[in-house]
Amino acid sequence: MNDFIGSACPETLRNAVSSRAALHSHVRYLSSPAGGRVEGPRTGGRAPARPSRHPSGQRGRRGSDACAAVALAALLACGSSPVAGSTALDPVAEIEPFVMRMAEDHGAPPNETRALLMDAKVLDPVLEAIRRPAERKPWHEYRKIFVTGKRIERGVEFWREHAATLARAGERFGVPPEIIVAIIGVETFYGVHRGRIRVLDALATLGFRYPRRSAFFLSELEAFVLLSNEERFDARRIKGSYAGAMGIAQFISSSYRHYAIDFDGDGSRDLMQSPEDAIGSIANYLSMHGWRAGATIAVPAEVEGDAFRALVEQGIKPHASLASIRAKGVGFTMEAGEEEQGALIEFETKNGHEYWVGLANFHVITRYNHSSLYALAVLQLAERIRERHGSG
C-alpha cells in the first residue's frame, strides 16, 4: 500500500511489534489515570487513543507490558539523529495512538505509519510562527507585503505565460484570470517561495504540540499521510509553509485531496510542479465554495454616524441587504440589487480606518485564507495586475 513511507529498522520493528493488540492495550493503560500518565496533546474532539477492539484486562498485562517495552525500545533505537532546535515525538503518548487510528480508520500499515512519525521533528520555529501570523498585522502594514510593484509586474508576466490555461479555467469555473494570478502571487510569488519546512514536521509539531488547534492539525496530518500515498509523494521530502500548506497554490492536505484537479491532462494532480494544475485547482476551489461568475467582489465605502458599528461587529460573511447597509449611514457605489447580501468590513490604516462592503465573492476568497486582510490584498493585487496587463 504505502511504499512512499518506507521503513526504518524494518526487521527490528517487525520483531518487536509482534502483537498489535497487546501494544495498543498497553498504550491505553499508560495513558489512563491507572497508568499514571496524563492524556497526550490530542485535545480537540478525539481522545488520545481509540478504545481497543481487543481490550485486555489485568490478565495478560505482564505479557503486554513486555511486548510494549520491547517495541518501545525498538522505536527509540530506530529514531533519527536529533536536529538542532527540534525534538522527537513521544512514541507512546503521541505516535502510537495516531498509528492505531490510521490503521483502524484507513487500513494504513502500522509499521509504515510508525516509521514515518518516528522521523517527524517537533520544530520550535513552527510554534513561534503560528503565534504571530502576518494576518495579525494592521491593514496598512499587511498591504505593503503583498501589493507591491514586483508582485504586480511578475503577475502580468505569469498571466502572459499561462494565458491559455487561465482562459480555460475562466470558461470552466467562471473565475477571472486576475484573481487566480493574484492568489498565486500572494501565496508563493508565482511559485518561487513554496516553503522550506517539511510538511511532515509542520503538521506533527502543530498537531501534537499546539493544543489550541490540535484536532485540526492532526486531521491534516492524517490527510497528508493519505495524500502522500494517493499521489505517490515521498512524505519525508515534501516542503511547505509552517502551517503545512504546500505547492504553487499552497493547498493544505485536506484541500489538496478534495479540490485539486488534473488540469494539464497528464494523469496526475501535481500542485508542486504544474502551474496548469495549480491554476485549475484554485479555480475549482473557489467555484466549489460558491464563486459567482461576473459578480462584484467588494467596493470601498464611506461611513457616518455610529449605526454602522453594528454592521462591522457582525463579521465578514454577507448578512445584511445592501439597502439596510446604506440605511445605517454607509455610502458606496455598486452595480448590484439592493436586496443582495453584503457585509461592512473595517480595516486599520495609519491614521484611522477604511471601510469596504464585501459581497459573496469576497467571502469566497476568505475560504482560501480565513482573513479579510488576505481577501482585500488579493482583490487589490488582482486589480493592479489586470490594469497593467490591459495597458500593454
Domain boundary among 264, 288, 312: 288
- What sign does the dihedral 360-362-366-371 (CA atoms) show? negative
Domain boundary among 82, 102, 119: 119
In a domain, residue 82? The reply is: yes
In a domain, residue 34? The reply is: yes
The segments of the chain whose pLDDT lies below 70 read 1-85, 392
DSSP, residue by residue, 4-48: TT--SSHHHHHHH---HHHHHHHHHHHHSGGGT----S--SSS-S
* Counted domains in the chain: 2
In a domain, residue 93? The reply is: yes
In a domain, residue 104? The reply is: yes
Q: Which of 94, 187, 276, 346 is catalytic?
A: 187
Contact by Cβ (8 Å): 191, 74: no
C-alpha cell at 338: 439592493
In a domain, residue 364? The reply is: no
* Same domain membership, residue 18 and residue 108: yes
CATH code of 274's domain: 1.10.8.350
In a domain, residue 322? The reply is: no
Domain boundary among 288, 304, 319: 288
C-alpha cell at 82: 536529533
pLDDT at 153 (0 to 100): 98
In a domain, residue 367? The reply is: no
Write phi, then psi, for 150 (nearest 5 degrees).
-65, -40
In a domain, residue 388? The reply is: no
284-321 pLDDT, tens per residue?
999 999 999 999 999 999 999 999 999 999 999 999 99
Domain containing 252 equals 197-288
Active site (annotated) includes residue 128: no
Q: What is the model's pTM?
A: 0.79
Percentage of residues of the chain with pLDDT beyond 90: 74
Nearby residues of 61 by Cβ (< 8 Å), 6 or more positions away:
26, 29
178-195 pLDDT, tens per residue?
999 999 999 999 999 999
